[in-house]
Amino acid sequence: MRYRLLVFIAGGVILLDQISKALIRQHLALYEVWVPWPWLAPYARIVHWYNTGVAFGLLQERGKLFAVLAVLVALAILYYFPRIPTSEKWLRLALSLQLGGAIGNLIDRLTLGHVTDFISVGTFPVFNLADASITIGTGLLILSVWLQERRERSANALSNSNLPGESLPSSPNDQP
């Protein structure tokens, strides 16, 4: 089944994202901060926050636009995914993470009108597991494209070095 990895990874991200957000909404009042150890407060904390924009609080009040974009991205991934060779593991993982994150935040937008965020690290904007999944997926997508380009350049260099009609040097001294 060509969708097995996609369903497993994206489904896991959606499940963890929705459970974590539900726990935050249930146990912390809006804007309430929880720090398990006081020494950790400057570095990391849990805070019940929400935003109507995209990841990391960008582009507030554009939630409807991002709901539409999330649906389009999800449809594109579902269309493209089975066409990716199974050997392209990084690309398949990247798209699975991005799909899970996009759907996780889409569920919030459709049911709440905003996205619940709760992970606060240093002075970085508050985010959630779906945001992290999209970000990691984007990093892996860049990595997979870079690796593919390297493979193609290596293959081209190898095939160009042995063009038909060219003789290979018989010894290192025969090279120009």
Query: pLDDT tens digits, residue range 79-132?
Result: 999 999 999 999 999 999 999 999 999 999 999 999 999 999 999 999 999 999
- Give the phi and the psi of residue 43 in degrees, each rounded to 5: -105, -40
pLDDT given for residue 170 in this prediction: 56
pLDDT given for residue 172 in this prediction: 57
The structural domains of the chain, with segments of one domain joined by +, span 4-151
Residues identified as active-site = 117, 131
Residue 61 pLDDT greater than 80, yes or no: no
